[in-house]
Structure 1
Amino acid sequence: MTLTAQEQLIEVLDVAEALLTRRAGAAVSLGDPEDLGGTGRSTVLRVRLVENPLAIGRTVVIKMIDDDAPAAPFLREVAAYRYATALPTSSRPGPQLLAADPESRLLILTDLGSGRSMTELLGEDTEAATRGVSAWGQALGRMHAATVGGEEDFTILLHHTAGDRSHDEVARQAEAARDAASALTDRLGIGLSPRLAAELAAGCDLFTGGELRAFSPSDVGPENILLTDDGVQFMDYEFGAFRDATLDVAYALVTFPALLAETAVPRRAELEKALVDAWRSEVRPLWPVVERGGDLTQRLLTARTLWVWLSTYWMVAGGSGGRDWALHTGDARVVLTRWADLADAARRAGDDELAAAADELGRALHLFWFE
């Protein structure tokens, strides 16, 4: 029998009340649900704690994954939230996990409140965008610094929570895009440049290797960032993993320009620098290598090339890969701008070979889509 929307809502609240009651050892009741939207595979609600023996605020957030969605991302998200919740309060990158029920695929999280979204800040003006990207970079750096050396703990949590049912979907998507590079560039009529092939291979290696390993929720784009009185908060942990931290910084560099106010667009190179400098200020004591500007610049170019290529792969190859990620776009102009920005960043770094490869891809894509 198919449940109505009202019946589903009642079921969600019943499960959440039971979970919180077990945690509190006393009755907890919930009311006044507010739909916060979801990714298309989940329902997210803010609910009021009517009877609240827990000192966790007046409201909580409930996230329930649809029955027809794959289980692996939910199990990984549970493990990621458990890992992040165990960090010192000042180091938590986002909401705290209060309870989880794998059978019903339900999470209960602390409510961070409304705050301001990063997308709103970026679109306001140049000054607001500068504040936003600087806070973003600092928050990434604090998260990375707080989790250095914690990979084994996370791996144990992931194995305990998901067993062999969880895999790193982001790494899998990146590898699929890398493996399709030759066929896709042939389709564009230019062939795959050796330099681009090398950058894509090196970028994929950052998921399993790299010197700067730390925890990441993975989809750290503007849509998943809330600015509250406690600073930047990262949302959505279903792809949480340990990997080289430059992947996060580069993800930010690739995803923020499309959301900038028109007046801030000409300043995006300065905004990139502000974000990177803010991140570097937080991780410098742990990773002295970030002080070697040339080394860091090249690492970021490698990671950035991978993300730009992945968004291009999704756009050209089609399919549903990454559709819920901040990196994903259905706008060809955004993809073309990403290649142009990558070329400009490479030129500023003195990497003319990568700049030429990025320019060539941009021209081929423009012909493919518009001529």
Structure 2
Amino acid sequence: MTVITESRIAGVVRAAEAVLSHRAGSSVTLADPEDLGGSGRTVVVRARVLANPLSMDRTLVIKALPADEDPRAFHRELASYKYATALPNESRPGPQLIASDPEIRVLVLTDLGHGRSMNSLLSGTDAIEASHAVSAWGQALGRMHAATVGGEFDFRAILRRDAGTADGDILGESAVRAVADASAQLERLGVDLPSDVHDRLAAACLLFPEGDHRAFSPSDVGPENIMLNDAGVQFMDYEWGGFRDATLDIAYALVTCGAQLSTVNSGHRTDLEIAMVDAWRSEVHGIWPALGHNGESSRKILTARLLWTWLSTIWMLPAHDGVASVEVPQVSPAGYTHDWALHTNDPRVVVARWTDLSAAAVRSGDQVVAEFAARVGAALQRSWLT
């Protein structure tokens, strides 16, 4: 675990003061920094604004990446905040960008306040409250997708201007590598990879650079990065944000929410999934009529869900010959220390994801994926948990 020191926090606050002062043309002073935690060595701090020449909020959030971190991370996040901040108020998925400095990799954002985390709602004992939360989650995803359809050219222009390139979707790159290694890894588990399933995985990889339903995504839309406040659902982290097929987002939400469910809410898992998907579809069917068809929608979401489940699995499998183990790499995929909601070091979570995938495939009438998911889940159960 990375420990963020007081001197590092103080340095980030001073850097933010300099960025804000330069933007305002006069001195801006911040006080009372509160460490909000961060992924890897990223520092996230809430600070109170004392001198206020810009009539800005009373508190701001500062996010700083280390200078030796992968520069693509900062440029992607900065482009994402610039793009999202330019959206109409009702369409913004999260905080607004106030100021930034690419040289020192500092972002200054509006403060969303304290609200309630999606994690706490899912892990609670009120099933009705959890149902309302996941419906709001799906609806917010759908609103964001509907509001950003057709905006990819603008986003890529921002990214190209700031970073010199519009390439670099780290999750898409990780997915391609994971699928390329699927047959060999499954063979070590004693599971055959049916050609139909391989084709589905390959098709899912194309949802990153292509896809029929392209819209903006913050990238990690798992429950750890979602807060509910008076303004509704807020997506709090845009690291590696960009445009991709929207079915990847709703599938990511389905895959990652399970680990947070309490015993009470786990009993309503199917109902919660249906509520989330229905809420999402209610917002996007007007722009993507094909998703109004139950069979088409289920098939596309299942394809994306298959990929996410496999990707979360291969991150826990060894890259060498031998029996699968629960050894987890010290850094997350592609060497970047971001705590993806998809990434887990708990083998029970991964096994449960295959069980959930199989059940979803059964509901969709997809026997091939259902049987494959059941076989993989059983193999991992034997290898990891017995």
TM-score band, normalised by shorter chain = over 0.9
Aligned to 2:325: none
User: Would the aligned equivalents of 2:197 and 2:368 in 1 still touch at CA under 8 Å?
Assistant: no
Aligned to 1:40: 40
* Secondary structure class of the residue paired with 1:60: strand
User: Would the aligned equivalents of 1:72 and 1:165 in 2 still touch at CA under 8 Å?
Assistant: no
Aligned to 1:330: 345
The 2-side partners of 1:20 and 1:199 are apart by 48
Aligned to 2:303: 302
* Secondary structure class of the residue paired with 2:283: helix
The 2-side partners of 1:292 and 1:7 are apart by 55
The 2-side partners of 1:324 and 1:193 are apart by 31
Q: Does 1:344 align with 2:350?
A: no
- Deviation string 1:165-192 (CA, Å, 9 cap, x unpaired) is 8510010111111111011001111232
Aligned to 1:285: 286
* Secondary structure class of the residue paired with 1:355: helix
After TM superposition, the structure 1 = structure 2 runs for residues 106-121 of structure 1, keeping only pairs within 5 Å, are 106-121=106-121
Shift of 1:6: 4.5
The 2-side partners of 1:129 and 1:257 are apart by 12
Aligned to 1:162: 163
Aligned to 2:104: 104
After TM superposition, the structure 1 = structure 2 runs for residues 137-176 of structure 1, keeping only pairs within 5 Å, are 137-164=138-165, 167-176=168-177
How many residue pairs get aligned? The number is 368
Aligned to 1:92: 92
Shift of 1:7: 4.1
User: Would the aligned equivalents of 1:203 and 1:302 in 2 still touch at CA under 8 Å?
Assistant: yes
Q: Which runs of 4+ in 1 moved over 3 A?
A: 4-10
Shift of 1:10: 3.4
* Secondary structure class of the residue paired with 2:206: helix
* Secondary structure class of the residue paired with 2:50: strand
* Secondary structure class of the residue paired with 2:317: helix
User: Would the aligned equivalents of 1:222 and 1:256 in 2 still touch at CA under 8 Å?
Assistant: yes
Q: AA paired with 1:237? A: Y
Aligned to 2:66: 66
User: Would the aligned equivalents of 1:76 and 1:161 in 2 still touch at CA under 8 Å?
Assistant: no
After TM superposition, the structure 1 = structure 2 runs for residues 208-357 of structure 1, keeping only pairs within 5 Å, are 208-317=209-318, 318-319=328-329, 320-322=331-333, 324-357=339-372
User: Would the aligned equivalents of 1:118 and 1:225 in 2 still touch at CA under 8 Å?
Assistant: yes
- Deviation string 1:285-338 (CA, Å, 9 cap, x unpaired) is 111111111001000000000000000001113433346100111111111111
Q: AA paired with 1:204? A: C
The 1-side partners of 2:72 and 2:166 are apart by 6
User: Would the aligned equivalents of 2:9 and 2:35 in 1 still touch at CA under 8 Å?
Assistant: no
User: Would the aligned equivalents of 1:20 and 1:28 in 2 still touch at CA under 8 Å?
Assistant: yes
Q: AA paired with 1:363? A: A
Q: AA paired with 1:26? A: S
Aligned to 1:180: 181
Q: AA paired with 2:139? A: Q
Shift of 1:266: 1.5
* Secondary structure class of the residue paired with 2:267: helix
Structure 1 pair 5–166 and aligned structure 2 pair: CA distance change class (3 A):
farther
Shift of 1:210: 1.1
Q: AA paired with 1:308? A: T
User: Would the aligned equivalents of 1:75 and 1:166 in 2 still touch at CA under 8 Å?
Assistant: no
Shift of 1:16: 1.0
The 1-side partners of 2:352 and 2:206 are apart by 25
User: Would the aligned equivalents of 1:195 and 1:357 in 2 still touch at CA under 8 Å?
Assistant: no
User: Would the aligned equivalents of 2:31 and 2:47 in 1 still touch at CA under 8 Å?
Assistant: yes
Tell which deviates more after alignment, 296-305 or 286-295.
286-295
**CA RMSD in angstroms, aligned pairs only:** 1.4
Q: AA paired with 2:332? A: G
The 2-side partners of 1:236 and 1:69 are apart by 17
User: Would the aligned equivalents of 2:159 and 2:166 in 1 still touch at CA under 8 Å?
Assistant: no
Shift of 1:129: 1.0
The 2-side partners of 1:192 and 1:354 are apart by 11
Q: AA paired with 2:350? A: V
The 2-side partners of 1:141 and 1:167 are apart by 25
Instruction: Structure 2: state its 5+ residue gaps.
Output: 319-327
Percent identical pairs in the alignment equals: 54
